[in-house]
Amino acid sequence: MEEVGRVEEVPRRRSTRVVLRIPILIRVANGSTETEWEAVQTVLVSLHGGLIRTHQLFPVGTSLDIRMQYQERSAQARVAWRSLEPTELGFDLGFEILDPPGFWEFDFPPDRWSEKTRPRLGRH
């Protein structure tokens, strides 16, 4: 029997996404020192991760090393999502940065889900 009026709760994002092209290098974490870095560029970034296009087929859950291409900054990340089919530009891959926030060195706008930015409903 079908439930009428049931509403699925949509998971909220932890932070706002921003379209920002940043050249980074990625590779499987804990690989050999000879593991090749792949040069990619972010499509979107957030305080807690990003979206890239890659030519490698990383399974969800894969641990990644990410590094700024022209700086000495690096972080650990985890593949959170990837497209099933590649485009001409590669697979879309979403990753979560496992290190504390700050990797992007970018001041993100306030997210629309936080208590501080949510409009208050009350008596006037």
CATH number where 48 lies: 2.40.10.220
Cα gap 93→51, rounded to integer Å:
6
Q: Is residue 46 part of a domain?
A: yes
Q: Is residue 12 part of a domain?
A: no
Torsion over CA: 35, 39, 40, 45 (sign)? positive
- Segment (H or E) for 26: strand 23-28
- The total domain count for the chain is 1
pLDDT of residue 17: 78
In this prediction, residue 110 has a pLDDT band, given cuts at 50, 70 and 90, of confident
Question: pLDDT (tens digit, 9 = 90+) per residue, 75-91?
Answer: 999 999 999 999 999 99
Q: Is residue 39 part of a domain?
A: yes
Question: pLDDT (tens digit, 9 = 90+) per residue, 8-63?
Answer: 444 455 667 789 999 999 999 987 777 899 999 999 999 999 999 999 999 999 99
Report which DSSP code applies to 87. Answer: B
Q: Is residue 109 part of a domain?
A: no
Q: Is residue 92 part of a domain?
A: yes
Predicted model pTM: 0.76
Q: Is residue 72 part of a domain?
A: yes
